[in-house]
Amino acid sequence: MAVAQNIRCSHCGAPVEFKPGELVATCKYCGFTTVIETGAPFKFEHSLLLNKYNLAQADELIKRWMRSGFMKPSDLARKSKVLEKNLVYLPFWVVSVEAKTSYKGVFERISPPIVKDGKIQKAYNWLVLAREAAGFPTREYDVPLHGKIPYDFRKIEGFAKVLNSEIDREEALELTKQQIEAHHRYLLKQDVDKIIEIYTEINVEHAVYLHAPVWFVKYEYKGKTYQLILDGAAGISLKGDIPSSKF
């Protein structure tokens, strides 16, 4: 069990709650963000994506998801029951980068094998989830970045939960590098079967700390529990367990 600790918000003086492992905390009374270790104000851009659905509208989204798609049991919307529906503002680092990978490898699908070299050059808004969130599909989440506004605590619903970051900017940049390199290694598999040399150069242009609204839903259908994750900004499902239907 994680125990919440307190520091004082240096902006409004209210207690700011945080849990062990969290590095950056946002005051729920004034929206001021503090680096926990030093107590100093957070000095990077902090953004927010707005949730567009109230509780009733979220129910509608859930029903719509249940009714759509031929993979689902036809009585899913009628026979299921929503057990839990939580709006959580998840913390992310969005790192804008130019990534260039040079490689040399062996293409073995022809005989004799040949040595090939090449480059992968791409620009990304790379998303790093700033904490552990059970089963959150970060790579499938296409953050609607055009909708971001400066963080505004007044826009956060009273029933919503705002999670703090467990990693700082430096760690986020490091993870971005590692993940992009791994991603490029994966892309390379189309081109070469064995990598001889690989070098990835990453130029960070910008990094934003972002809170994005995500609905975590638990529902019950025929005695079993399933999870559904919805994007509160775009209203689409990010991941949903579908009960197997018998034809």
Provide the binding-site residues for Zn ion, judged by CB under 5 A: 9, 11-12, 14, 27, 29-30, 32
Residue 14 Cβ vs Zn ion, minimum distance, rounded to whole Å: 5
Which residue's CB is nearer to Zn ion, number 48 or number 192? 48
Residue 115 Cβ vs Zn ion, minimum distance, rounded to whole Å: 60
Burial 41-59 (b: 16+ CB within 10 A, else e): ebebebbbbebebeeeebe
Alpha helices in 5-69 (DSSP H): 55-67
Residue 31 Cβ vs Zn ion, minimum distance, rounded to whole Å: 7
Which residue's CB is nearer to Zn ion, number 19 or number 104? 19
Which residue's CB is nearer to Zn ion, number 100 or number 155? 155
Residue 155 Cβ vs Zn ion, minimum distance, rounded to whole Å: 16
Tokens (6 digits) for 84: 């839990």
Which residue's CB is nearer to Zn ion, number 27 or number 210? 27
Tokens (6 digits) for 123: 């620009």
Three-point CA angle 24, 88, 42, nearest 5°: 20
Which residue's CB is nearer to Zn ion, number 29 or number 199? 29
Residue 11 Cβ vs Zn ion, minimum distance, rounded to whole Å: 5
Radius of gyration of the chain (CA): 22
Which residue's CB is nearer to Zn ion, number 11 or number 116? 11
Q: For residue 29, list its beta bridge partners.
A: none
Nearby residues of 81 by Cβ (< 8 Å), 6 or more positions away? 219, 220, 221
Tokens (6 digits) for 215: 């609905």
Task: Please report, for residues 28, 152, 239, the alpha-carbon distance to residue 139 in angstroms, rounded to integers and kept in the order given.
Answer: 29, 26, 11
Residue 10 Cβ vs Zn ion, minimum distance, rounded to whole Å: 8
Q: From the CB of residue 177, how many other CB atoms can be counted at a distance below 10 Å?
A: 18
